[in-house]
Amino acid sequence: GSDVGPQKDRVVTEEEWLQKWEMGNIGFHKEQGHPLLRKYMDVLLNGKSGLRIFFPLCGKAVEMKWLADMGHSIVGVEVSEQALKEFFSEHNLPYFEEPVPEISGAKVFQSTSSNISLYCCSIYDLSSSIVGKFDGVWDRGALVAVNPCDRQRYVSLMMNLMEKNSSYLLVTVSYDPNKHKGPPFYVPESEIQTLFGNCCEIKCLEKVNDFSDRHRQWGLDYFLEVLYILKFVA
């Protein structure tokens, strides 16, 4: 929409993301995990055990370990092999790596306890025939990281990967897009409706002021995180 202003044509390449990891320029990584997931874990899990939970553009999110420790099985995808190796080493988790036959050049890193499988490839190379379907998604930093021109493609993939009645916790960010070019990109509520509205019930759970010095350096004067729960009714 026109309200995302100058961001709509912005493209961040895979190389740029890899470079962020190499340079340690990962201000988006939360060492202690995300407080909103802690707070709304029950909304995601809905009282169920043994769920399959998807982490798109997972980086080395510590929440993958939380959920695996609770007995859920975790699948993530990330272009940076470094991020995935750091995840396993930082949690002292033994793992092995294998090629993914269906995707040229891709690897999957799997914990030896087999409850965490992290794919190193472009998210757009995945499909339900490769990774199966999911009961839950924790999308924090994924939708807001994909290039605005790819959002529809991203959402179509997510639809393909979700079971009926699954729960999708989505964190977006809100700030003045005229003052920062992204990522993370500004995704207005109207766009969430446009992208997901025809197959999901959408509810905004909370808006949190997440403004920090980092955002001030970007030239912003406010920065909010907005948490939604999407229920697939398709």
| pLDDT, tens digit, 9 for 90 and up, residues 6-41 | 898 999 999 999 999 999 999 999 999 999 999 999
pLDDT digits (tens, 9 = 90+) for 71-97: 999 999 999 999 999 999 999 999 999
pLDDT band, very low/low/confident/very high, at 2 (cuts 50, 70, 90): very low
- In angstroms, the CA 230 to CA 170 distance is 7
Q: Is 27 annotated as a binding residue?
A: yes
The domains found in the chain, sorted by start residue, are: 7-25+35-232 (3.40.50.150)
Q: Is 123 annotated as a binding residue?
A: yes
**Amino acid (1-letter code) at residue 203:** K
Q: Is 169 annotated as a binding residue?
A: no
Q: Is 223 annotated as a binding residue?
A: no
Which residues are CB-contacts of 107 (< 8 A; sequence separation ≥ 6)?
Answer: 81, 97, 98, 99, 100, 119, 120, 121
For 15, other C-beta atoms within 10 Å of its C-beta total 9
For 126, other C-beta atoms within 10 Å of its C-beta total 22
Q: Is 17 annotated as a binding residue?
A: yes
